[in-house]
A and B are shown apart, each in its own frame.
Chain A
Amino acid sequence: MRYRSLAAALFLLAGTAGISHAADTTGVQVTGGWLRVLPGSLPAGGYVTFDNTTDRALTIVGAESPDYAEAMIHRSSTEGGMGRMEMMDSVALPPKGKLTFAPGGYHVMLMQAKHPVKPGEKVTVAFKLSDGGTIPATLIARPANASGPTD
């Protein structure tokens, strides 16, 4: 598992290096990444905070993970007493701004794990930007009833 994550991380690094002419994403700090592992093959919600230290407006347009067959950006809401989810085509990451993916709001929905993901393990997610760049993020797997990355 560790080797697989390492390989995935290297692959991502290589991918980023290969498109170095695109956005320089070193200006985006990623913190507090975690995902909620649910039993069986149920989809998992992933959460992370982006801190755009650059003065450029960035736009997240998708995500992919070597550990999951599919990843989608969603937003939950409970407006009007109805819990619903909508798929997001783009999420703005303003210049010198923060964007938080947290339970009950934005999240990356990770579907069809390629291997069993257990609490404590790390999963890599690459957030795709509209300018062709990516923001690599490491998310720590947490139990179903966790409230955050460390509780």
Chain B
Amino acid sequence: MKSSTCRRFVLALIALLAMAALSACQREPQPEWRLTDVSGHLPDLDFKLTDDNGKRVTGADYKGKVVLMYFGYTHCPDVCPLTLTQLHVVLDRLGAPADKVRILFVSVDPKRDTPAVMHDYVNAFDKRAVGLVGSDGDVEALAKRYRSAFTREPDRADGNYEVSHSSAIYLFDAEGKARLLATPSASQDDIVHDLHLLTSLETRP
């Protein structure tokens, strides 16, 4: 009798623990992304470039920040400013969590985009934007890593030229893991929504 009560107690305890474990599982964050989920399909944030203050930086320098990475160039008068403006508006709408976000604008035009040019350019859009430049090889390696592409178009008569480039925006979590992909035509609501989720994910110590 005594042992049967004890057994029942133990069984009840096990059941309780199991239920607790189950509900913990259900509470595990399973975010409902609105942008394209690329978790596990693209490599972690990693590069060796120079920021717009002339400092050598790597992907690890942005650990702890949610990163929006976008390839472009400063002589691009339309699509790049449109995208950077879009990201600026999105971060303003995000509010306080935007402090945990950085826009990384990687130049695909190393010839014309110096750190100084990039500094003025990115700051004209958003104080949370960082301009990154590198050698042809470094930028090509980064673009290849994320299956991005860019092509320098033939020079015009005045010696100027355009650069066609992938227009995707890559979103990394605070641990540098590739999580989401957005197109420039993605709605601001969707980007704000997913940034709220990304910035609220627990980071492992």
Contacts and interface: CB of A to CB of B under 8 A. Distances in A.
A24 to B, nearest CB: 31
A82 B78 contact: no
B164 A103 contact: no
A104 B97 CA distance: 28
Interface stretch (A3-11, A54-62, A89-97, A141-149): A141-149
Interface of B: 72, 74-82, 84-85, 88-89, 117, 120-121, 124-126, 149, 153, 156, 158, 160, 162, 164-168, 183-185
Given A83-B79, A103-B79, 10 more contacts: A36-B81, A40-B120, A43-B75, A43-B77, A70-B158, A84-B165, A104-B78, A144-B84, A144-B121, A145-B89
A45 B81 contact: yes
B183 A145 contact: no
B120 A78 contact: no
Nearest to B88: A145
Given A39-B121, A143-B124, A81 B183 contact: yes
B162 A85 contact: yes
Given A40-B117, A76-B78, A78-B183, A83 B166 contact: yes
Interface string A10-50: 00000000000000000000000000101110111100000
